[in-house]
Structure 1
Amino acid sequence: MTLAIVGMGFMGATHLKAAAGIPNLKLAVVSRDDKKRKGDLSSVGGNLTGSDNQVDFSAVRTFSSFPEMLLDPEVDAVDLCLPTALHESFTIEALRAGKHVLVEKPMGLDRAACDRMIEEAQKADRVLMAAQVLRFFPAYASLKQWVESGDSGTIRTATLRRRCAAPGWGPWLKDKAQSGGGVFDLLIHDIDMALYLFGAPVSVTATGYENLEKQIDVLVGQLYYPGFTVNISGGWHHEGYPFSMEFTVVGDNGTMEYHVRDTHPSLFQAGTPVSEVAPDGSIDGYQAEISYFLECARKNEQPVKCLPVDSARSVALALLLLESRTRHGEKLLCQI
């Protein structure tokens, strides 16, 4: 199978590095940048993982344009690592060309765009999946198993946080017309994780502040479920602020906590020494995500672990929280 990664910014380089470790996968790259097509990724930056400055592209098919790549019958699937505003049009074009599509998060700028993408995938009988990579990170997979198995007992509260400096790379991120905004782009991970773990809330509230000139775009949100509340917070802070993601989930049978600096989550239980929760055979989350998508594409089966309709609901919930923020914390019913 041949996978074409479209866009060689930070996420494209991250996906390239992960995909290079997948056995029996042929790679292609689409970039308008001559240097990047030659494997020079020295201009790429990011907040989570770096990329090697020079990459050997001798065995990689390279294309200077998206339409050129779509005409190549050897390309089976595309991995779209582009500004959010381009997701809908590029996804639909790829699906109509008979390609399976992995599209970076957020899936689209609004629910309507996501629904149109899903409809096209159904018409084309191709696999569509949004890259909600947190579902594949080992620490969050351990949390999912703990909650879903019932080992947690009844959930009493949960907190999901994610913060970083306003990005110095990818200037499109600071353009709301292209990205939907920093909080939307960043916290979509935690919003999706809340839906993955607990389903849709009954209602939401959110407060926060946005001033992109001062490098501030923050949100503190509450998702109200019957009997418990999920807190989601974070966003962009000032230059130099380190990337951070974490969770704390409290159930009757214990508290599971994780910070990105930790190797594994910790489980705290009454009368028991704290223990690490290490998943079996865990691999890099990006590699796991791409491998799962490719397996679904090979079988032409729906990605049940990360359905596109779930990603569309995450977009809708993110926008609802932002609406509550603009209304200074007004409680809004969640109908997504």
Structure 2
Amino acid sequence: MSKLKIGVIGCGSIAKYRHLPEYAANANVEIVAVCDIVPERAETMAAQYRAKAFTDYQEVLKLKEVDAVSVCLPNYLHAPVSIAALNSGKHVLCEKPMATSREEAEAMIQAAKANGKKLMIAHNQRFVASHQKAKEIIESGKLGKIYSFKTTFGHSGPEGWSADGKDSWFFNKEKAFIGAMGDLGVHKADLMRYLLGEFKEVGSFIETNAKSYSEVDDNAVCVLRTESGIIGTLTASWAYTAGSDDNSTVIYGENGILKLEADPEYSLIEQYRTGEVVKHQLSRIQTNEEGGQTTSHVINHFVECILEDKEPLITGEEGKKSLEIILAAIESQETKRIVIL
């Protein structure tokens, strides 16, 4: 079988620590092109992965040999570049949040359909072992009726991770459109949809109160209600200092509770009213600090979906539904009202 030929557009940290090493580790892939507007960045990655370096993404899209691309760019470029790639006959793996509006997300979905190509959004939380196990437990009925949840994704901010530090596009309203909510909150919105089903109502408090150089939100707390009446909170923050990262979720049911990524040793703990406690030591959730020592499973899934012509776990439609929760949270903050999806 000939290898899937990949182009990576954008050579910042997410490409450097996730997409490129994970493509390189996949035996069915050949990285043929890398692109970045900073020539040195593209050239460094090209040398490392024996690919061609480009500074204009249009040049990558003209390459007939490229089967698929990863779009690893600032948020405001996700839709235009993904649509251009789909229209040039490439499959697309786009970083999250997939777009900056419903209209953009819809246009991406339509471009994928029109061209008969895969569009996948890089929401890695669905692939985490504890999250998959939790879904299995919830669906088995062991917890009984689900009442409530709390989910958090917080760390000290992208400056330590982004290629440009404090000057990163992450803090620029025009390029990022949204801050911690788009960077971290959308991950948790996607996870809770995966675990509990669709959401119906969103309320929020969203602040920029931790970073003077940020034009976008760095602290957000949302209250959510699912269509089935489960209520809970979603917190996204770039203000958890002193290495106190939190990527945990707790689900409260009639018969017990599930604690996901909330314990340093056990990535999933089941606690029941009967006194029964089940502790699972599963493969850990990925963190940026590990410099890509763990796999996100996103790349392998994307490659497999193309080679086996399968529907990705996170399609454009799925990405859009998760984005809509975040857009509703922004609307709630602006209008001071609960927003109905």
TM range, normalised to the smaller chain? 0.7 to 0.9
**Equivalent residue for 1:323, pick from 310, 319, 331:** 331
Seen in structure 2, the aligned counterparts of structure 1 residues 99 and 286 have a Cα distance that, compared at 3 Å, is: farther
Counterpart of 2:235 in structure 1 is 233
Q: Secondary structure at the match of 1:244?
A: coil
Offset, 1:239: 6.0
Q: What is the CA–CA distance in structure 1 between the aligned matches of 2:308 and 2:274, rounded to whole Å?
A: 47
Deviations 1:163-213 (CA, angstroms, capped at 9, x unpaired): 122322351111122212213312000111122222222322112422452
Please say if 1:17 is aligned against 2:21.
yes
Seen in structure 2, the aligned counterparts of structure 1 residues 178 and 149 have a Cα distance that, compared at 3 Å, is: farther
Q: Secondary structure at the match of 2:155?
A: strand
Offset, 1:314: 1.2
Whether the aligned pair in 2 keeps the contact of 1:15 and 1:286 (CA below 8 Å) is no
TM-score, normalised via structure 2 length: 0.84
Moved more, 71-80 or 99-108: 71-80
Whether the aligned pair in 2 keeps the contact of 1:163 and 1:245 (CA below 8 Å) is yes
Offset, 1:263: 5.0
**Equivalent residue for 2:203, pick from 205, 210, 216:** 205
Q: Secondary structure at the match of 2:305?
A: helix
Q: What is the CA–CA distance in structure 2 between the aligned matches of 1:274 and 1:177, rounded to whole Å?
A: 48
Matches within 5 A, 1:85-234: 85-168=76-159, 169=162, 170=164, 171-185=168-182, 186-211=184-209, 212-213=211-212, 217-225=218-226, 226-234=228-236
Deviations 1:54-79 (CA, angstroms, capped at 9, x unpaired): x9625334333312222222211001
Offset, 1:219: 1.5
Counterpart AA for 1:83: P
**Equivalent residue for 1:244, pick from 243, 246, 250:** 246
Counterpart AA for 2:333: R
Structure 1: where are the runs of 5+ without partners?
A: 41-54
Seen in structure 2, the aligned counterparts of structure 1 residues 314 and 256 have a Cα distance that, compared at 3 Å, is: same
Counterpart AA for 1:7: G
Whether the aligned pair in 2 keeps the contact of 1:114 and 1:312 (CA below 8 Å) is yes
Moved more, 83-92 or 257-266: 257-266
Counterpart of 2:9 in structure 1 is 6
Matches within 5 A, 1:293-304: 293-303=302-312
Counterpart of 2:74 in structure 1 is 83
Seen in structure 2, the aligned counterparts of structure 1 residues 96 and 227 have a Cα distance that, compared at 3 Å, is: closer
Whether the aligned pair in 1 keeps the contact of 2:224 and 2:232 (CA below 8 Å) is yes
Moved more, 59-68 or 278-287: 278-287
Seen in structure 2, the aligned counterparts of structure 1 residues 83 and 280 have a Cα distance that, compared at 3 Å, is: closer
Counterpart AA for 1:24: N
TM-score, normalised via structure 1 length: 0.85
**Equivalent residue for 1:288, pick from 297, 305, 319:** 297
Q: What is the CA–CA distance in structure 2 between the aligned matches of 1:193 and 1:219, rounded to whole Å?
A: 17
Q: What is the CA–CA distance in structure 2 between the aligned matches of 1:312 and 1:286, rounded to whole Å?
A: 24
Deviations 1:13-72 (CA, angstroms, capped at 9, x unpaired): 1221222222231113222334333436xxxxxxxxxxxxxx962533433331222222
Please say if 1:274 is aligned against 2:281.
no
Offset, 1:280: 8.9
Structure 2: where are the runs of 5+ without partners?
A: 287-292
Offset, 1:84: 0.8
Seen in structure 2, the aligned counterparts of structure 1 residues 9 and 262 have a Cα distance that, compared at 3 Å, is: farther
Number of matched residues?
A: 318
Please say if 1:66 is aligned against 2:57.
yes
Q: What is the CA–CA distance in structure 2 between the aligned matches of 1:203 and 1:242, rounded to whole Å?
A: 30
**Equivalent residue for 1:37, pick from 37, 42, 61:** 42
Q: What is the CA–CA distance in structure 2 between the aligned matches of 1:87 and 1:286, rounded to whole Å?
A: 23
**Equivalent residue for 2:339, pick from 325, 332, 335:** 332
Counterpart AA for 1:332: V
Whether the aligned pair in 2 keeps the contact of 1:2 and 1:77 (CA below 8 Å) is yes
Offset, 1:307: 2.0
Once superposed, what is the RMSD of the aligned Cα atoms? 2.6
Q: What is the CA–CA distance in structure 2 between the aligned matches of 1:192 and 1:180, rounded to whole Å?
A: 19
Seen in structure 2, the aligned counterparts of structure 1 residues 122 and 89 have a Cα distance that, compared at 3 Å, is: same
